[in-house]
Amino acid sequence: MMRREAGVLFTAAFVLVQAWCGGSSGDRPRDVLDAMQKVYSSDNFSDARKYYTKGTTGALDELDKLNPRARKDDSVPDGRFAKGARWEVIDETLQGDGATVKIKYTKHPVENNKGLDVSFAMKKEDGAWKIDMEKDVRETISLIKKMKK
């Protein structure tokens, strides 16, 4: 009887620690991609920004100033989440507060993208996984500035 009670206490403590530390099944880097797909499938892009790092959204805002583009509802458009696209996760590698999620498109509105592998850099920020494209966007900004000179 004592052994069973100890097992129940251990299980309850484990569940509480996992919840407190953010270890729930909805807290994996790959879950962000599923959430983004729902945002872009809904035609209501207003929630998109919360799935990108602060550095990414700041860099995208800077890019918009250099090269204004049409955006809906102040969203952060990302063509990798095209409406109707589906994928399978090939790999998810965690390294501290960083991660890489590699997917393969199983369905895509652009036929040439079907079968394409795409990697997403992820970063844990404020306790949640987010897509980190800051480096890539900053490189684009640098290229635009050089072309304008």
Mean pLDDT of the chain, nearest integer? 79
16 lies in some domain? no
Quick one: which of 46, 109, 44 has its CA closest to 80?
A: 109
Split at pLDDT 50, 70, 90, the class of 51 is: very high
What string of H, E and C letters represents the secondary structure of the chain?
CHHHHHHHHHHHHHHHHHHHCCCCHHHCHHHHHHHHHHHHHCCCHHHHHHHECHHHHHHHHHHHHHCCCCCCCCCCCCHHHCCCCEEEEEEEEEECCEEEEEEEEEECCCHHHCCCEEEEEEEEECCEEEECCHHHHHHHHHHHHHHHC
Residue pair 138/146 in contact (Cβ under 8 Å)? The answer is: no
Provide the pLDDT for residue 145.
Answer: 87
For residues 12 and 69, the model is more confident at 69
pLDDT, tens only, 81-102:
888 889 999 999 999 999 999 9
Tell me the residue range of the domain where 93 lies: 29-148
Provide the pLDDT for residue 97.
Answer: 95
97 lies in some domain? yes
Residue 46, pLDDT above cutoff 90: no
pLDDT, tens only, 9-39:
333 333 333 333 333 335 899 999 999 888 8
Provide the pLDDT for residue 77.
Answer: 59
18 lies in some domain? no
**Reported pTM:** 0.74
Q: How many domains does the chain have?
A: 1
15 lies in some domain? no
10 lies in some domain? no
141 lies in some domain? yes
What CATH number is given to the structural domain containing 56?
Answer: 3.10.450.50
91 lies in some domain? yes
11 lies in some domain? no
Split at pLDDT 50, 70, 90, the class of 76 is: low
